[in-house]
Structure 1
Amino acid sequence: MPIDEIGTEIDPATLLPGVLPVSRFEEGPAGPELICEVLWVDHFGNCQLNVDPLEIIDLAAAGGEVVIQIGAGSASPDERIGVRVDAYDQIPAGRVGLVVDSSGLLSLAIARGSAAAELQLGDGIEVRIRSLADGDRGSGVVTSVQLAPRPGPEPGSR
């Protein structure tokens, strides 16, 4: 087949390299925030971010915790405490993990679950990551509870 039958010839000088969105740091109310976005979601529901793992070293060391915010600018943004781990199997049950994926970028993942479904994430959605501050865990109030038998007649008596 002649090459001109395959398609229209284009000038190679007009070709541009593929461009990825660039993450950036901005000063937020609780300190520096890494502003990034979801590049794509894999079939497990892991959300690949446009973040080089070196970008979060100052926010959290391996095993360290960060605040992950989705929906910044909305009336009620969703904030989760995430943990930076070295492998998917290190993500604690029910927690959001930050793990380096097979492409060498940072991904959001949930142990035995879909981060995309749980966090309502998809391609192009903005995610903000910041260091965990003292006030991010809530008040830390402990309530004492005592369990006792239910009041009423003794068992076996009528």
Structure 2
Amino acid sequence: MNRGKKYETISFLSDFGTTDEFVGVVHSVINSIAPFAKVIDVTHGIPHYDIRSGGLALARSAQYLSPGVVLAVIDPGVGTQRRAVAVEVGGGESVLVGPDNGLLAPTVALVGGADRAVSLTETNYQLPAPGAMNAGRDIFGPAAAHIASGVDLSELGDSVEVSSLVPGLMPVSSRESDGLHAEVLWVDQYGNAQVNLDPAELEIKENEVNHFEIKTSGLTRIAKKVKTFEELGAGELGLIIDEYGLVAIVIARGSAAEEMKINTGNQVIISFAENSSTQPVPVVLKQLDEKNEGDL
């Protein structure tokens, strides 16, 4: 058997949720094969079957993950002819394991491309399965554990051309006559809506308060460009550079996604508001009833 590099960390992302036993079972399978490996749960809250959201979440996380094995399972094609793959990146610093459906592609691109890849076809490194519906438990989890234990990728299956890996579809913003056409990439649990805009794409007037018009399919609002939430009044709409360096639509102590009626995949048009006398429309925040104030 060819021996490869050993890894101490397995970072795990999926759409399994936490209601059923799926995540715990995969943890246990990994532990039985590689008891030394530390499993980091990145998230299991990706919307079911949402490959793009999972791919973007993995890409956002990639630069902060410990070198090691990355196990990603969002697999609407489970049981079909789609390939199960392991992809080595960064000169062997990390290996990504998951379905070849575009889920891994944004991260592979972000870290400079794939060094090599294999199709996970060697059944000696899989669990015997009564059915084909749980590849996370039977194929991907065991593969991640064996790779962490030092099994070389070449032992796990046939080599595949890295150019044949399924690409991820990443939306691109564009500048049109009516403004910047962007797409909502992600809405976090606070309702902040990240869009696919680099801050440099915004027209900023130095030493002035900059206001921008934001249009959705049914709403138009004015937002102020700010550096921190502190610069916004309660319920005031803003544009901010988020923790990943992209533009986000936000509301102080409120949900911008709810106010703008937007979600992942929706289009927004952002343009400089020349007439900044148009005031932002504040959101009315719910106040606690006096009788309930002590219930917190």
TM-score, structure 1 as length reference:
0.70
**Counterpart of 2:165 in structure 1: which amino acid?**
L
Aligned length: 128
Cα deviation for residue 3 of structure 1 reads 6.7
- Change in Cα spacing, 1:10 to 1:19, as seen in structure 2 (3 Å) is farther
TM-score, structure 2 as length reference:
0.39
- Change in Cα spacing, 1:111 to 1:64, as seen in structure 2 (3 Å) is same
**Counterpart of 1:130 in structure 2: which amino acid?**
S
Question: What is the rounded CA distance, in whole Å, between the counterparts of 2:159 and 2:265 in structure 1?
Answer: 30
Look up the match of 1:21.
171
Q: Identity across aligned pairs (percent)? A: 34
| SS of the residue 1:63 aligns to | coil
- Change in Cα spacing, 1:128 to 1:136, as seen in structure 2 (3 Å) is farther
Look up the match of 1:143.
none
Which is higher, the Rg of structure 1 or of structure 2? 1
- Are the counterparts in 2 of residues 84 and 98 from structure 1 also a CA contact under 8 Å? yes
- Change in Cα spacing, 1:126 to 1:13, as seen in structure 2 (3 Å) is same
- Change in Cα spacing, 1:24 to 1:95, as seen in structure 2 (3 Å) is same
Look up the match of 1:145.
none
- Change in Cα spacing, 1:135 to 1:101, as seen in structure 2 (3 Å) is closer
Residue 42 in 1 paired to residue 188 in 2?
yes
Cα deviation for residue 37 of structure 1 reads 0.8
Look up the match of 2:238.
97
Question: What is the rounded CA distance, in whole Å, between the counterparts of 2:273 and 2:248 in structure 1?
Answer: 18
Name structure 1 gaps, 5 residues minimum.
72-76, 139-158
Cα deviation for residue 60 of structure 1 reads 5.4
**Counterpart of 1:103 in structure 2: which amino acid?**
Y
Superposed counterparts of 1:4-153, under 5 Å: 4-5=122-123, 6=126, 9=158, 11=160, 12-28=162-178, 33-56=179-202, 58=203, 63-71=209-217, 77-134=218-275, 137=278
| SS of the residue 2:122 aligns to | helix
Cα deviation for residue 4 of structure 1 reads 1.4
- Which structure exhibits the higher relative contact order, with contacts defined as CA atoms closer than 8 Å and separated by 6 or more residues? 1
| SS of the residue 2:230 aligns to | helix
- Are the counterparts in 1 of residues 211 and 276 from structure 2 also a CA contact under 8 Å? no
Name structure 2 gaps, 5 residues minimum.
1-32, 34-119, 127-138, 140-156, 280-296
- Are the counterparts in 2 of residues 59 and 66 from structure 1 also a CA contact under 8 Å? no
| SS of the residue 1:137 aligns to | coil
- Are the counterparts in 1 of residues 184 and 265 from structure 2 also a CA contact under 8 Å? yes
Superposition RMSD on alpha carbons, in Å? 2.7
| Cα deviation 1:51-88 (Å, max 9, x = unaligned) | 000000x25557310111111xxxxx311010000112
